[in-house]
Structure 1
Amino acid sequence: MREHMYCELTEKNPLIQNPAPITFLSPTLTISDFRMQVVLLYQGQRVMKVATSSPDGCFILQGRVPLGNERIYGPCTAQQLSFPSPSSVSLPSCLAEAMNRLLCHLERGVLLWVAPDGVFIKRFCQGRVYWSGPMAQHTDRPNKLEREKTFKLLDIATFLNELQSCLQGKGHSPSYEIELCFGEEYPDPNVPKTRKLIMAQVVPLFAVELMQRFNVEEIQEKRPILTSKTEEEKM
């Protein structure tokens, strides 16, 4: 499990930037884009959309960043994304009060970062945090992030292998979107995500860039048509 340098020393691998476009992925491809797009939602209403810029990732939190190994490594340079006030959206007073109570438990928040081998998260807040994504154990019931424990949300090698298979016509497009739900169980088949008080959608931008570079959406759209034509020819 790869740890954040803020929590524990991690060796950094040399990075290779912008590999030339090729039909299939190079086996030496190394991810060098550590940015993420983070969208915060209150009851399904977008209250923040940010593309992170720090290679150390970002905190999503209420209040102050937790103290880490600053004496050893200096101040953490992870970007700080603070939860907006519930008054920034139109909500019934009872929901706004519930959200304010929840925010009190989200001090210290969570730390998200992209490393050469994956996307990781560490929960520091007292409030419970649940998630869904490529490496989530369950899709039909909640996945909880334990406090002070590092979780791998996306494995880059798996993503690249699935993308390679997709480009070769051997599989579906890889999953790379991550969702966090603060204070409420998620996934929850009985409650739609638009009714959850606070959610975050996280997308690593290296994945977006690769999907666009290889026109994966267009390939997926054309594939059923090509399959049906092939079947007709066989008949």
Structure 2
Amino acid sequence: MNPGGRRLKQWLIEQINSNTYNGLLWEDEIRTMFRIPWKHAGKQDYNQEVDASIFKAWAIFKGKFKEGDKAEPATWKTRLRCALNKSPDFEEVTDRSQLDISEPYKVYRIVPEEEQKSAVVHQDPAGTFNAAFSQMMICFYYGGRLVGSTVTTHPEGCRISPCQPPLANGFLYGPDSLQNIHFPSADLIENERQRHVTRKLFSHLERGVLLRANREGIFIKRLCQSRVFWSGQDPQYNPNPCKLERDAVVKIFDTARFLQALQLYQEGHYQPPEPTVTLCFGEEFHDFSTVKSKLIIVQLLSKQITALNCQQLVDAVTARRSQYSSGTLEISDDMASDQMARICQDLCSYPVPQRATCFRDNLPIPV
């Protein structure tokens, strides 16, 4: 592993905990993600002393700047961005970043060492991570509050349930080879009644749901007794969340459809596609306005979407549209025209598989 990355991790955690830098703070209470301010130097309200302070601090720490030298905030920012991107300890969470608000910020996740080791094991002679196409970012919300997040690491998929399944009982709980991911403890819930009802709901989720991601998309199979609703990327085709039928394999994210929608959006013919899938356990789920009132919400983001920079392209196109409409086009140092062209080229060359003629013959989740 990169020793410089380890050094960056220790330094950055110290800076977050110091509360010295405006906008540099933890994104979640369990301190697995953090926000870092990301205001562009061309903004009218840009203040170098405030908005570039964390980037300047990194340059000083690395010996690249000392007081009295010429100030280069853009260079400072680039150095820290490159360090974060190169370090195995950090991963940008693009769907949580906010770059088009008055005080923009990016969100990064601190990658656990076990997850890094797993990724190395799955690295192939070409030097790429095959495992990336089978990984998902999973975030848990209780009553609208983030209580935990994790990334799947097993190519065969995962099981989300409240407890460890009994041994050698694959017929009821799915294959033993699946990665077991547990719902965070209800003890994290402050409200007593909410905590009691959530524990009661856990008793109906014992068998859980099975999830698997591959190049085609994300598949799910509901085994639990409790109802489960999902809402995903196609509000124009499925305007309302859908109920999962028990023991049925359902494709809840379609990579090919996402890329097609993304290209249409880029051409101005479509609304931006949604890269995440939302699951609601145990309660009716009609629209996103009720998300914060639900006991258990789980959000999924396919790592292959992160690998393709699709969310970054959506954000860039949206920003450029707003700049054109306001007559103040500004090329961000993070997403210049040549970078947008490169990402578009990557999308066009991405080999999307054809729809399977017989789904049963290619069942993504074995049971």
Same fold, TM-score > 0.5, yes or no: yes
**Shift of the alpha carbon at 1:207?**
1.2
Amino acid at match of 2:307: E
**Shift of the alpha carbon at 1:149?**
0.6
Residue 109 of structure 1 pairs with residue 208 of structure 2: yes
* Greater radius of gyration (CA): 2
The structure with the greater share of residues assigned to strand is 1
Residue 139 of structure 1 pairs with residue 236 of structure 2: no
**Cα gap change, 1:86 to 1:159, in 2 (>3 Å):** same
Residue 128 of structure 1 pairs with residue 227 of structure 2: yes
| Counterpart residue number, 1:52 | 152
**Cα gap change, 1:222 to 1:152, in 2 (>3 Å):** same
| Counterpart residue number, 1:195 | 293
Amino acid at match of 1:119: I
Aligned partners of 1:228, 1:87: CA distance in 2, in Å?
48
**Shift of the alpha carbon at 1:51?**
1.3
Higher mean Cα deviation, 160-169 or 116-125?
160-169
| Counterpart residue number, 1:160 | 259
Deviations 1:145-200 (A, max 9, x none): 111011110111111212233344544432221111110011347x6211111110
Amino acid at match of 2:286: P
Choose which of 139, 145, 148 in structure 2 pairs with 1:39. 139
| Counterpart residue number, 1:176 | 275
- Tell me if structure 2 keeps the 8 A contact 1:59–1:65: no
Amino acid at match of 1:68: G
Task: Give TM-score scaled by structure 1 length.
Answer: 0.72
**Structure 2 portions without partners, runs of 5+:** 1-125, 328-367
Q: How does 1:76-87 map to 2 (within 5 A)?
A: 76-87=176-187
| Counterpart residue number, 1:215 | 313
**Cα gap change, 1:228 to 1:44, in 2 (>3 Å):** closer
Aligned partners of 1:97, 1:80: CA distance in 2, in Å?
24
**Shift of the alpha carbon at 1:31?**
10
Q: Which has the higher contact order (CA 8 A, sep 6+)?
A: 1
| Counterpart residue number, 1:68 | 170
| Counterpart residue number, 2:90 | none
Other structure's SS at 1:173 match: coil
| Counterpart residue number, 2:323 | 225
Percent identity for Structure 1 against Structure 2:
34
Deviations 1:87-121 (A, max 9, x none): 12312x22211111110000010011112222110
Aligned partners of 1:217, 1:135: CA distance in 2, in Å?
18
Task: Give TM-score scaled by structure 2 length.
Answer: 0.48
CA RMSD of aligned residues (A): 3.0
Aligned partners of 2:176, 2:267: CA distance in 1, in Å?
42
| Counterpart residue number, 2:11 | none
The structure with the greater share of residues assigned to helix is 2
- Tell me if structure 2 keeps the 8 A contact 1:32–1:116: no
